[in-house]
Structure formats: structure tokens, C-alpha cells
Amino acid sequence: MLAQWIAARGHVAVHVLNLHLEEADDREIWRYAIRESMIIVTKDEDFTSFVLTQPNPTPVVWVRLGNCRNPQLLHGMSSIWEQVEER
């Protein structure tokens, strides 16, 4: 749902399910994002540690809205989207 929302705003966005990475661990997803020059948008705090410990990290948008339903997630993202795009 979030990937579609981001894509509707003119960005390339793909969910891990569409990349057949649903069973991948975080490191594999991280390596894929680096290889493909992608930004990771995640609710998973683990990716923030990669940013802090890896040389030349891929950008990560850490969504900190807690456990919420899609409408709340999209509302939260829409309220900060302009700042996300600027960064």
C-alpha cells in the first residue's frame, strides 16, 4: 500500500513482495537496495543500524508510527511527505 502511495507521487517504489524478497533477511534487502540505488522506507529499526555502521549506506526513511493501519500510515506520511522529498 505505501509503495503504491509513493509511486502515485511520481517516484519509483516497489514493495519487497514484488521483488520476491519477502523471505529475505534485512541484510539481503540492504544489499539489494545498494545494488539498485534504492532508498529503503521501513518501520524496521534494524535498517537504521546499517546506516550508522556501514560505509556509503543507502538512504533509509525510518517510519516511526508504531503499529497502525494503512489509512493512519498514509495520513502520517502525507503530513511529512514534503520534508521527506526535500531530504
* Domains held by the chain: number: 1
Residue 24: partners with Cβ closer than 8 Å, 6 or more residues away: 16, 32
Task: Give pTM, 2 decimals.
Answer: 0.83
CB burial of residue 19 (10 Å; 0-12, 13-18, 19+): middle
pLDDT of residue 14: 95
Domain containing residue 7? 2-86
Q: Note the pLDDT tens digit of each residue in 30-76.
A: 999 999 999 999 988 889 888 888 888 889 998 888 788 889 999 99
pLDDT of residue 86: 87
Q: Note the pLDDT tens digit of each residue in 77-87.
A: 999 899 888 88
Is the pLDDT at 10 greater than 90, yes or no? yes
